Chains A and B, each alone.
Chain A
Amino acid sequence: AQSVTQLDSQVPVFEEAPVELRCNYSSSVSVYLFWYVQYPNQGLQLLLKYLSGSTLVKGINGFEAEFNKSQTSFHLRKPSVHISDTAEYFCAVIAPYGGATNKLIFGTGTLLAVQP
């Protein structure tokens, strides 16, 4: 079975500072990896996804993530955050060959709190 761990439930950061949100996954098979963002009172929105190829993935709003197979990680980064980045961020996987095809398996989320 697959699982996703987001160890940081909340990450406070000052505006214009860099940020990294950590995500580790567990799977015995290859996975596709996703980061979604949930703004208050809105639906989940895809930030970026890794399917194959280059391990550095660039997404919307200046975010990027790097897939590290040896460390089973997919950390999300942004070099300079804005107040408007305050939201809940979810890491998720799909295991196309692991009996969990088409099902997103989510972590528990990390609240990014950007302070002025």
Chain B
Amino acid sequence: GAGVSQTPSNKVTEKGKYVELRCDPISGHTALYWYRQSLGQGPEFLIYFQGTGAADDSGLPNDRFFAVRPEGSVSTLKIQRTERGDSAVYLCASSLRLADTDTQYFGPGTRLTVL
């Protein structure tokens, strides 16, 4: 079946602009996660959802970052007033349930470049 998809695959923007990154999880998966992977680093947790609600957003770096999942499926990560330091690959993952033992399936990521 279809895996996790993310759009766009690449996004180039200018400093100060607003961007939205979209994630389509695997059908039927109730949990959704966002991670950020900077160059030469492993992915770092940002936020996860159980259904429509953000169960843990402790990884969001500041209030310029926000994520929503209004219908419990697709999620959008929103970044306001982008900065050059926001440049990274943003990864989305989903799992069948919100459980430590459930495998998180990752999408291919969105590469964000802030000029």
Alpha-carbon distance between A49 and B44 when the two chains are bound, in angstroms = 19
- What's the A-B contact tally at a CB cutoff of 8 Å? 58
Per DSSP, chain B at the interface is: loop
Nearest chain B residue, comparing its CB with the CB of A107: B42
Say whether A21 faces chain B, with CB atoms less than 8 Å apart: no
Nearest chain A residue, comparing its CB with the CB of B45: A103
Q: A43-B107, A44-B106, A51-B101 are in contact. Are A104 and B59 (CB under 8 A)?
A: no
Q: Which single member of A49, A90, A96, A103 contacts B103 (CB below 8 Å)? A: A49
Beta-carbon contact of A43 and B4 below 8 Å: yes
Chain B residue contacts of A36, Cβ below 8 A: 106
Alpha-carbon distance between A108 and B44 when the two chains are bound, in angstroms = 10
Min distance, Cβ A30 to any Cβ of chain B, angstroms: 11
Nearest chain A residue, comparing its CB with the CB of B37: A106
Beta-carbon contact of B43 and A90 below 8 Å: yes
Per DSSP, chain A at the interface is: strand
Beta-carbon contact of A43 and B103 below 8 Å: no
Q: List 23 A-B contacts (CB under 8 A).
A: A36-B106, A41-B108, A42-B108, A43-B105, A44-B91, A44-B106, A46-B103, A46-B105, A49-B103, A51-B101, A90-B42, A92-B42, A94-B100, A102-B98, A102-B99, A104-B33, A104-B43, A105-B45, A106-B42, A108-B40, A108-B42, A109-B41, A109-B42
Residue numbers of A with Cβ under 8 A of B are: 4, 32, 36, 41-46, 49, 51, 90, 92, 94, 96, 101-109
